[in-house]
Amino acid sequence: MVLVRGIDWSTGQGNLEFGDDSSAQFSYLDLRNARVGFRVLDERKWCLGYFVFDDGGRFWTVPCKTNENVAKGRSCSRCAGLDESTFLHNAHLGRSTPLNVRTYLSQPHWLYIATFANGESKVGTVSDERKTTRLQEQGAVIARFVARTSDGLHVRELEDQVSAALCIRQSMGSNRKALSWLSALPFNQIDGLNRAMSATVSDFLLTSIDSRAVLAKETWRTTPDAFFTQTLPLERFAYPREITVGAHVLDVVAVKGQSALCSVLDRQLKRHQYIVNLAPLAGRKVEPGLFSVEYEDVPMTLF
């Protein structure tokens, strides 16, 4: 039995991160071209601990000491109270912030516009150190860095301003992102939409930034892998099962953020391609193994 912690992108590729109840030692499974089989033990969700920062501006996870169940979110109430990452989101609003978090925030940050497979965009912020990892975690297709700030407080002020003035969302849920692959636009079209929105944001920033930020013009693009090349979006379907219930055997073709492009065999031994949102597996206890699973013959869209 293992506790799934989520999809980790710290090595530049999507790995399934898991551990046991209490150890801080986590294991990683490279999802690329992997056959992933498991059975979700039950409907309970377990605490994934909390983040702490050191005085060098780095952060890591501390597992839950008491192995609690959680009703929603990723942490029990004790761990949520100890989670220093919560300070990141409202430090710029004047809330008192621990010294180590302030050290993390004192490094240069970037403001970016990320666009997803269906052309929807969001504005976001990222520290210099996690510049590309963050975009990979999010499953963005194209992103443009539009400003670089001297610290992580001011970048969040800019994010709020851009979001309010231009009505650009700051977050996008994992299910919405997975769903976006079912109506994916051609790569060039996504690039065009991102370029246009980034230009609008740059124009807005031109009139509002001060000495704490400089305009930037850098583009990041995801690898044009099987998500773009292997099959037309019309031939893909949403995974027909609840990923947090029962047994699953997935042949993973490629991963973007928390979304996996998988192929499975149906009862007629015909292959179908599905988009699977892996995010809900975080906090679930599963038994690894290639269990017998019968998939329906006709793919269905059940997002």
Query: What residue ranges bind Zn ion (CB under 5 A)?
Result: 47, 64, 68, 76, 79
Between strands 236-238 and 271-277, the pairing is parallel
In whole angstroms, the minimum distance from the beta carbon of 49 to Zn ion comes to: 6
In whole angstroms, the minimum distance from the beta carbon of 283 to Zn ion comes to: 10
| Residue (79 or 117) nearer to Zn ion, CB | 79
Residue 83's contacts (CB-CB under 8 Å, 6 or more residues apart) are 50, 51, 75
In whole angstroms, the minimum distance from the beta carbon of 21 to Zn ion comes to: 11
| Residue (1 or 290) nearer to Zn ion, CB | 1
Tell me which residue of 1, 2, 9, 3 sits closest to 258, measured CA to CA: 9
In whole angstroms, the minimum distance from the beta carbon of 253 to Zn ion comes to: 35
| Residue (69 or 106) nearer to Zn ion, CB | 69
* The residue to which tokens 């590729």 are assigned: 13
| Residue (65 or 148) nearer to Zn ion, CB | 65
Q: How many residues does the chain have?
A: 303
| Residue (68 or 225) nearer to Zn ion, CB | 68
| Residue (22 or 132) nearer to Zn ion, CB | 22
Long-range contacts of 90-96 (CB under 8 A, 24+ apart): 91/152, 91/153, 91/156, 92/153, 92/154, 92/156, 92/157, 92/160
In whole angstroms, the minimum distance from the beta carbon of 70 to Zn ion comes to: 7
Cα 249 to Cα 36: distance, rounded to the nearest angstrom: 6
In whole angstroms, the minimum distance from the beta carbon of 257 to Zn ion comes to: 25
DSSP state of 138: H
Cα 161 to Cα 205: distance, rounded to the nearest angstrom: 9
Question: What residue number has its CB nearest to Zn ion?
Answer: 64
In whole angstroms, the minimum distance from the beta carbon of 62 to Zn ion comes to: 9
| Residue (68 or 251) nearer to Zn ion, CB | 68
What count of Cα atoms within 13 Å lies in the side-chain half-sphere of residue 12? Answer: 1
Do residues 21 and 301 make contact, with C-beta atoms less than 8 angstroms apart? no
* The residue to which tokens 């300070």 are assigned: 87
Tell me which residue of 294, 66, 112 sits closest to 221, measured CA to CA: 112
